Copies of this chain bind each other. A is one copy, B any other.
């Protein structure tokens, strides 16, 4: 028997003085209410209600039990509400891991707004380019920029990260401007190299996809370094727009091959697989989606 359902039925019968009315308020049939109360009496071995064919009233036992039942039912509601409240009030420590470049260029400035919005939270931000397992390494959420991540960890897309092919004006003056992806074979590339596509660049235009493996003179796991070397005229770089942005605006770099585009990378949030996402993590991720882009949840969460 569902003792709680019996308690609720019993309490409602006492409140209303009627099995029928109790049934109406609890959205149960009269016979269900009758059975619940009978079951309760049976399990206690005690008569709780005096019944006539028209109404019911608690006897001494029933009055005592009714008062106790009300306390118990209200405490149970209070307990439910207490955990709901605890869950919905964001506070405590949020530990975030993010890539270096994204952390310094985009996330860092945005964090102040998040902390203004949720003043009770503490945020610990660790910037690193290592592949990090949040469960293993004690983070609540890890941000990643990747092409496509297959992982057993739960991940949520935050935003696409467009990329741009660019070089310094001085480099272009000395080596000519490539007009087609195939022209890149004659140029020096500065490449990231740690994507799933390795050192190949995929560029798509009106005439289809082009897979180019330019001769690379520098392979590094930090796009800011690629940007800075490109600015110094050492080659052509394919790097995220958020990294190249300022140099492009200042004319220190020039975007080339503008009729072609590289598939964007994607910013993901990765977090431990629990049935119910911590509200801290959820609020943080919602903030990132709102701040950095549209929302596509990778796992239908």
Question: B41, B64, B68, B84: which contacts A276 (Cβ < 8 A)?
Answer: B41
On whether A47 and B2 interact (CB within 8 A), knowing A64-B83, A64-B86, A86-B64, the answer reads no
A28 CB–B CB distance under 8 Å: no
Chain B proximity mask over A81-100: 1 for CB below 8 Å, otherwise 0: 01110110000100000000
Residues 1-53 of A at the B interface (beta carbon under 8 Å): 1-5, 38, 41-42, 44-48, 50
The distance from the CB of A203 to the nearest CB of chain B, in whole angstroms, is: 45
Question: In the complex the two chains form, what is the Cα distance from A23 to B87 in whole Å?
Answer: 28
A78 CB–B CB distance under 8 Å: yes
Q: Is B84 touching A47 in the complex (CB atoms < 8 A)?
A: no
On whether A44 and B80 interact (CB within 8 A), knowing A75-B68, A75-B72, A275-B38, the answer reads yes
On whether A60 and B86 interact (CB within 8 A), knowing A2-B4, A75-B71, A79-B65, the answer reads yes
Q: Is B86 touching A79 in the complex (CB atoms < 8 A)?
A: no
Q: Which residues of B contact A38 (CB under 8 A)?
A: 275
Q: Is A274 touching B65 in the complex (CB atoms < 8 A)?
A: no
The distance from the CB of A85 to the nearest CB of chain B, in whole angstroms, is: 10
Chain B proximity mask over A126-147: 1 for CB below 8 Å, otherwise 0: 0000000000000000000000
Question: In the complex the two chains form, what is the Cα distance from A287 to B169 in whole Å?
Answer: 113
The distance from the CB of A267 to the nearest CB of chain B, in whole angstroms, is: 25
A182 CB–B CB distance under 8 Å: no
Residue with the highest number of chain B CB atoms closer than 10 Å, among A60, A64, A76, A84? A76
Q: Which residues of B contact A42 (CB under 8 A)?
A: 275
Q: Which residues of B contact A221 (CB under 8 A)?
A: none
Question: B65, B69, B84: which contacts A46 (Cβ < 8 A)?
Answer: B84
Question: In the complex the two chains form, what is the Cα distance from A131 to B44 in whole Å?
Answer: 34
For A92, give the chain B residue with the smallest CB separation.
B60
Question: In the complex the two chains form, what is the Cα distance from A69 to B75 in whole Å?
Answer: 9
Question: B1, B2, B65: which contacts A3 (Cβ < 8 A)?
Answer: B2
Chain A residues engaging chain B, CB cutoff 8 angstroms: 1-5, 38, 41-42, 44-48, 50, 60-61, 64-65, 68-69, 71-72, 75-76, 78-80, 82-84, 86-87, 92, 274-276, 278
